Structure 1
Amino acid sequence: MGNDVVVTIVVACGAFKGSLTAIEACHHAAEGARRAYPDADVLERPVADGGGGSLEVMVAGGARRIPVTASGPTGETVDTSFAAIDPDTAFVEMADACGLLRLPGGRMSPLESSSRGVGEVILAALRSGRGNIHLGIGGSASTDGGTGMLSALGARFLDSSGVELPDGGGALVHLDSVDLDGLDPAVLVSRILVACDVDNPLLGPLGAARVYGPQKGATPDQVAGLEAGLSRLVEVLRDHGLDTDPDAPGSGAAGGVGFAARELLGASLDPGFGVLGTLTGLEDVVSAADLVVTGEGRLDDQTMHGKTPMGIAALCRSHGVPVVAVCGRLDLEADRVAEAGFAAAAALTEVEPDLDRSMANAGALLEDVAAEVVSRILS
């Protein structure tokens, strides 16, 4: 394709964790694309999957940020927000309200951390008149089965003396009864769609506590206690007459928020990239492109199991649009890159092998790498 041909390049990158947000990554990759093809129409469309940074992506896509004060993971007050998409629809990000990034000083608190904050933001969105809630639950700090979220929405979780349990998954072993009569009426008529990229069950060796508890700072003994608490939650809900299914895919997401949202709020769970892509109109932009540039911090075997670049690649394939990947580090052989659907892939570490220096200079390096890979395809 010659340089006299006007082309449309869509840059749809996720975050380069530890270096660049999705918005920053798109900006730098777009600068590289413009350097390679000065006459191109280069469009920046940052992408996310429902975890940290998703709220920023929604706002960058045109949604309006509505400030909310909520409870952080260990009860401290945090300033967060939801994204108002239209008068009826809002996007809520759990990570920004009560996720790992909100832990004071970054100190893990696996037994006490709660999902209450995300429930408070949901309630604020509902009280703004928006009954369609899109909920991103990646990056959670808690393993409380979603009881904190439900408590913020009006549910009560009681011990044998009828006293409400303190927040956090560590208290659930003392759960004796559940009172759902106080659930806010707006919740009962709302439509909640959860952006969720894991299919773990709530309990067992692949469940919320055993798989994700250690990532949230839980010791083996604490993992066992959290597992016992989640089991107790299921038992008490069944005693309450609720035929819950802890084995349903995604029930273990966000420490059990997926379970609570589906079983008690009637939510549906969909892949995060698809939810965010639909909300931002990504498919319409991609379908009209001549080339798409995507990427994130690392392309490896995990990427092949449904991470954001694979979602972009699938979208491009459905519209016959070539796609290239840029990343901080590339851990896929050439045949695997092709198998994933990428016409080419390039990494920052190919230019700067020292990982620390590569991360420190990620923006400038990404511009160079994007320029090279775009030139390679559109020359």
Structure 2
Amino acid sequence: MSDGGRGFLDAIRRLAPHLRQQQTTVHPPVGRRIPAAFLVGEDGTAYAEMALASGLDLVPETARRPAHLSSRGTGELLRSIMARPQVHTIVLGLGDTATMDGGAGVLQALGVRLLDRHGSPVPPGNAGLSQVERIEAPEPDSPPETFRARGGHLIVACDVLHPLLGPSGAVHTFAGQKGATPDELPQLEANLHHWAEVLEAVTGRRVRDLPGTGAAGGTAFALVAWLGAERVLGARWLTEHPRFQAELTRATALLTGEGQLDEQSLHGKSTGFLAALGAQRHLPVVAFAGRVRLTEAQWRAAGFTAVYELPPHPPSQASRTLSGCVANALAGMVLKPDGQTV
């Protein structure tokens, strides 16, 4: 399972093992070029994962500075896919990224020029957004433009439903997880606001308030505003796959997990979505988390049957600890024919 973040490509590979894996190289947020895989089907649909090019786990903790990190690698990944003439649809999973540049790095890698008042390219990362005064489109024969010309369609599978700006937007909800300090948040937010003003003025699309545009540090915002990308909730999109639906029909319980189960889990994340899905189908849903920040009343209202917080253990004991918790959880559930527990 995946909500669009890390593991998105693996989840698709399990649902559609016939897809061909291909590879390109990209610039991660820090360091030298790395390989980044994507999947292509015979029907002309390609699947990619932003976390493989711009993921938080690609950046050492000491280098996690969202004010200066760029999403350029994801743009390079998209450009490579768009250059393949047989591809007419791209599904890009968004989430678990190290960046907060509103997708500016993605657009730059696609050939979009972001210029300051002197006509010079702006610096990478969120910090450069405040200097953007002019935006120039790519060359007509560039892969992104030829992709659009042949009717190419981009779908962004978002891992959250948050908008770009505001108290529930990208900065105030996720920047701290990416390494930003509390005193940096006002400037990060102001830079994103300026970026939204400029990009929306150029494209004529006001999309900043749409659910999901805050995904992946605002990358969804840029792709919707510039390319007219279609937004989908990653968890919902994945569970609608026919093979997943077949598995769901046979299921008698759902097991899920997350590093921290909290309010964010209930707004687009896999755990919260599966809880709601289980409640709709009268299936018990058991969640395991390193930390639980929801009250019992909250997680029960969300649809969870049981929630277990895993105690910290050395790596060698981690799998045994989880296995024991799963066994205990299942042993404690007696399933009635309608799927309810007693």
The equivalent residue for 1:165 is: 122
Asked if 1:48 corresponds to 2:2, the answer is yes
Where structure 2 has 5 or more consecutive residues not aligned to the other structure, the ranges are: 336-342
The equivalent residue for 2:146 is: 185
Q: 2:163, 2:292 → 1: CA distance? A: 31
Q: Structure 2 length as normaliser, TM-score?
A: 0.82
Q: 1:233, 1:83 → 2: CA distance? A: 32
User: Which of 50, 74, 83 is 1:127 aligned to?
Assistant: 83
Q: Is this contact kept in 2: 1:93–1:136, CA < 8 A?
A: yes
What is the percentage of aligned positions where both structures have the same residue? 35
> What is the letter of the counterpart of residue 193 of structure 2?
S
User: Which of 248, 261, 275 is 2:210 aligned to?
Assistant: 248
Q: Is this contact kept in 2: 1:194–1:269, CA < 8 A?
A: yes
Q: Which has the higher contact order (CA 8 A, sep 6+)?
A: 1
Asked if 1:149 corresponds to 2:100, the answer is no
User: Which of 226, 248, 254 is 2:188 aligned to?
Assistant: 226
Asked if 1:269 corresponds to 2:231, the answer is yes
User: Which of 56, 59, 68 is 1:100 aligned to?
Assistant: 56
Q: Which stretch shifts more, 293-302 or 101-110?
A: 293-302
Q: 1:263, 1:234 → 2: CA distance? A: 9
> What is the letter of the counterpart of residue 159 of structure 2?
D
Q: 2:148, 2:99 → 1: CA distance? A: 22
What is the CA deviation profile of residues 175-226 of structure 1, one whole-angstrom value per residue up to 9, with x for unaligned ones? Answer: 1210124353204532222121333332344433344333333345643443
Q: Is this contact kept in 1: 2:199–2:225, CA < 8 A?
A: no
Cα offset for 1:72? 0.7
Q: 1:164, 1:154 → 2: CA distance? A: 12
> What is the letter of the counterpart of residue 220 of structure 2?
G
Runs of 4+ in 1 over 6 A off after TM superposition: none
Q: Is this contact kept in 1: 2:28–2:54, CA < 8 A?
A: yes
> What is the letter of the counterpart of residue 13 of structure 2?
V
What is the CA deviation profile of residues 141-197 of structure 1, one whole-angstrom value per residue up to 9, with x for unaligned ones? Answer: 122221111112221111223222232221122212101243532045322221213
Cα offset for 1:121? 1.1
How many matched pairs?
A: 327
Q: Which stretch shifts more, 187-196 or 142-151?
A: 187-196
The equivalent residue for 2:35 is: 79
Where structure 1 has 5 or more consecutive residues not aligned to the other structure, the ranges are: 1-46, 350-354
User: Which of 303, 308, 324 is 1:368 aligned to?
Assistant: 324
Asked if 1:89 corresponds to 2:45, the answer is yes
| CA distance 1:312–1:249, change in 2 (3 Å) | closer
For 2:313, what is the secondary structure of its paired residue? Answer: helix
1:193-212 aligned at under 5 Å gives the runs 193-212=155-174
Q: 2:36, 2:306 → 1: CA distance? A: 39
| CA distance 1:264–1:334, change in 2 (3 Å) | closer
| CA distance 1:179–1:333, change in 2 (3 Å) | closer
For 2:333, what is the secondary structure of its paired residue? Answer: helix
Cα offset for 1:272? 1.9
For 1:285, what is the secondary structure of its paired residue? Answer: helix
Q: Is this contact kept in 1: 2:162–2:211, CA < 8 A?
A: yes
> What is the letter of the counterpart of residue 188 of structure 2?
L
Q: Is this contact kept in 1: 2:266–2:273, CA < 8 A?
A: no
Q: 2:303, 2:52 → 1: CA distance? A: 32
Cα offset for 1:118? 0.8
Cα offset for 1:283? 2.0
Cα offset for 1:244? 2.6
Cα offset for 1:299? 4.2
Q: 1:336, 1:272 → 2: CA distance? A: 23
CA RMSD, 1 decimal: 2.9
For 1:377, what is the secondary structure of its paired residue? Answer: coil
User: Which of 255, 259, 263 is 1:293 aligned to?
Assistant: 255
Q: Is this contact kept in 1: 2:207–2:224, CA < 8 A?
A: no
Q: Is this contact kept in 1: 2:161–2:233, CA < 8 A?
A: no
The equivalent residue for 2:340 is: none
User: Which of 264, 270, 284 is 1:308 aligned to?
Assistant: 270
| CA distance 1:345–1:252, change in 2 (3 Å) | closer
Cα offset for 1:243? 3.9
For 1:185, what is the secondary structure of its paired residue? Answer: helix
| CA distance 1:320–1:363, change in 2 (3 Å) | same
The equivalent residue for 1:44 is: none
Q: 2:172, 2:326 → 1: CA distance? A: 39
